[in-house]
Structure formats: structure tokens, C-alpha cells
Chains A and B, each alone.
Chain A
């Protein structure tokens, strides 16, 4: 069985932002808490699109601020 969405999202965040899995919880904000800049968030969105076979338009991407937002968006749009 495929890994749960939460786990796959965490793995992508660790890989893209170079943070430890223990630092990640759903309330963490990518920019304020995890050290991402605006282009890191674009790369993160690209990684989500590729992992989950989604297309995330820029206007939706702007609303994905926290780890929890990303998990919820992916679950809603898969």
C-alpha cells in the first residue's frame, strides 16, 4: 500500500527545504517557520504536483501557507 499523504508530503518538504522530519508539523509555515523563500515554495509546489500528479495553479499555491494547508489541498484534489 502507498504511504499516507502526510508522510509523502513530509518527505518532500525535508528533501526540498533541507529540514529535519521532527521539525515538521501541520501548523508550521513554510516561509516563517521552515526557512523557505518565495522560490523555494514554487519548487515545493512543483514537487507536490509531480509526486501527486496534480496541477496546482498559482492562485491556489498562494493559499498553501502551512504544512497542513498542503496536506489538505492534496487530499481535496487527488
Chain B
């Protein structure tokens, strides 16, 4: 059976690090408050010269190098992002051009923080169907650009970064075993950016009203996210004949340590088998699962044959999970 195997991983975090102590100078908060409620200690923030595609290209180049592949071998590029370079063309288009992936079609996927799982699912379908041989799946964000640094509820969470995986067809049993995608638009008001789209195009009023920044109802997001994590993880495990105890590593979306801990408790998994790096990266949206996967790989926490569960949730709401045999 042909599966989409992850043959290369890459990640990139902008150089500038924003600490909790620095945030405490901008809004009324403390390092202790942020750490206790989010687990986040610092996060990376892009400088003025960097847009989302610049981060995406760095992660993609690393993934391709590690896969020993050149950009001209890429057939298709899927970029999950909530913060594209421009409204159009797509960020994937900029990535395609900057990489020199001359043969590749490209598309953006907007599934907010679930962009990693959505892009992985879409990419793996093209491999499994036999249509493409090499697909680049990327999650990249500059969430700092839609962050209101006067809103202490969101500015301590959101961050910038990019991660990428190269998928190729394999017959050795390794690869994406299954991926489930979900959405429910009734939760849209829990996490969204009001202006800049066709509902509220940019005007002097939308700018003055700070409507181009992400808005979040934190408590509601927490509740729904914990349940979604648990439900989608249990569903994909059961359908594929696994139990939580079979997992070698769980790589959740890095939104908030408290959400991860609450979800992991429901799954009945020890924290030793969960990759956590939210403390150093904050919430990098569609990038976070890929960034965490790259870290797990670089640290040697993944061995051939390992069973991984990836899961994410985000604005929309969107959520999803993927099972991967390494």
C-alpha cells in the first residue's frame, strides 16, 4: 500500500526572542502569571523585513536538504497559514518562486492553528492517489502581525515560526496512516480577526477600532479545545485499531500547556510521551505541530517504526488528527 512518508523535516524561528519580562512592560501582566496559565516563557517574533513566506522558505529549504532533494523535484506545495504575506497571491506562490520549485503547483490552506494537520492531510492524499511523487507541506505564521499588544489575553500567546515536511510515496509501511479533519463554524466568534476581509474591509474606522487584530474568548476556547483534542485523538486511534498506550509520541498543537495537560489527562497518556515546546515558542499557529515534530526528530525522540499522533485545533473552529508511522 502506498503511503505518504515524511522524508525530511525542517523548521525556522525568527532570531528575535520576546520574553515574558518584556511583555510585562507592555501590558499589565507578570512572568509568573503567564507561565502558570500558559506554560510560555518566551517566543520568537519576526523582524520588519520578514513576512510569512520568508519563514516558510527557510523551513522548507531545511526539510528539502535533509531529504536530499532539490526544489525542482517538488511537485506540489501546500502552505497552512492564517497570516499570508498578502491577501493574494498566496503565500505558497511566494514560497514556490523563492525556492525555485519551477514544476510545482501551490496552494494556501487557511485552517487557522489546524493548518498543519490540514496541509499534511491534503499533501498525503496527492501522494496516495499517485498524482504526485514529492509534496512539500508547510505551516508558517507571523501571528505577531495580527497581535494586539495592548490585549494581555492574546499578546502573551501568539508568536511567529515555520515548519515543513517533505512527503514522498513509500511502500515500506511508513507514512501517514490516517488523518481526520473537522470543522464547526458555530464557534467562529471564539477566535477570529474581524476586519481585513470582505465582511469588514480595511477602513480608517476598522484600524482605529483595532479590528485587524485577533480576538479571543480564552475560556471558551479552552473548553472546546480540550474536548476536541480528546475526541479526535480517541476516534482516530480506535478506527485504526490502536490504544493511547500504543503511541510512542503525541505531538499536539502548542497553544497552551494547560490545554495540552488537560487533553493528555483525558487521553490517559503519560506526559513523557508528549512533545512540549510551547515554553520556548508560544503559539505559532499552523506552524506549531511541524515545529514540534522537527524538534522531536532533531532530539532523536523519533525512531523508525514509531507510532506518532499529531493533533491540532484552531479558530473556525477547525480541528484534526493524524496518525503517522515513522
Give A45 to B262 CA distance when docked, in angstroms. Answer: 13
Interchain CB contact under 8 A, B262 and A58: no
Collect the chain A residues with CB atoms within 8 Å of residue B226's CB. 43, 46
User: Complex formed: what's the CA distance from A58 to B37 in Å?
Assistant: 18
In the complex, what's the smallest C-beta–C-beta distance from B218 to chain A, in angstroms? 8
Tell me whether A58 and B222 are in contact (CB under 8 A): no
Number of A-B contacts (CB under 8 A): 21
A25 shortest CB reach to chain B, Å: 26
- When each residue 18-52 of chain A gets 1 if its CB lies under 8 Å from chain B and 0 otherwise, what string results? 00000000000000000001110011011000000
Q: In the complex, which residues of chain B have a beta carbon less than 8 angstroms from the beta carbon of A61? A: 219
**Which residues of chain B are within 8 angstroms of A43 by Cβ–Cβ distance?**
226, 262
Which bracket fits the contact residues of B?
10 to 19
Contact A42 B36 (CB under 8 A): no
CA distance A38 to B33 in the complex (A): 11
**Can you name 10 extra interface pairs (CB under 8 A) apart from A38-B219, A39-B219, A39-B222?**
A37-B36, A37-B37, A38-B37, A42-B219, A42-B222, A43-B226, A46-B227, A58-B219, A58-B220, A61-B219
Taking a contact as CB atoms closer than 8 A, the residue among A37, A38, A42 that contacts B223 in the complex is: A42
Taking the complex as formed, is B217 at the interface, i.e. its CB lies under 8 A from any CB of chain A? yes
The residue that A39 contacts in the complex, of B217, B227, B258, with Cβ under 8 A, is B258
Question: Are A45 and B223 in contact, with the CB atoms below 8 A?
Answer: yes
Q: Taking CB as reference atom, which chain A residue is nearest B38?
A: A39
Residues in B10-32 with C-beta less than 8 Å from chain A: none
Residues in B205-233 with C-beta less than 8 Å from chain A: 217, 219-220, 222-223, 226-227
